[in-house]
């Protein structure tokens, strides 16, 4: 079993970054937390609602941090090795 698809640039010494996966998971966490907070506030369970708001804020901060790291990585890549968009 191969660790990475054929023809890709990642190597065992320098693997692909998981930032795209982390970005998707943070977006999913933000969405779920916001929906859960709305449901909890509507049901009158304020402590759980505020807990969900805290989780949503954490996910939002993570989204910003991950996106900034992706942009910095793209800028740091040499011109010939930049990912195609």
pLDDT digits (tens, 9 = 90+) for 2-41: 565 666 666 667 667 788 889 999 999 999 999 999 999 9
Whole-number mean pLDDT of the chain? 84
Tokens of 83: 């990912």
> Residue with structure tokens 């943070």?
26
One DSSP character per residue, 25-53 reads HHHHHHHHHHHHHHHHHHHT-HHHHHHHH
The pTM of this model reads 0.72
| Domain boundaries defined on the chain | 19-77
Q: Tell me the two tokens of residue 84.
A: 């195609």
């Amino acid at each position: 079993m191969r660790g990475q698809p054929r023809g890709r640039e990642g190597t065992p010494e320098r693997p692909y970054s998981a930032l795209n996966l982390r970005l998707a998971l943070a977006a999913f966490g933000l969405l779920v937390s916001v929906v859960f907070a709305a449901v909890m506030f509507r049901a009158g369970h304020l402590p759980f609602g505020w807990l969900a708001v805290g989780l949503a804020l954490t996910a939002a901060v993570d989204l910003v941090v991950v996106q900034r790291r992706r942009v910095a990585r793209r800028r740091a890549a040499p011109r010939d090795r930049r990912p195609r968009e």
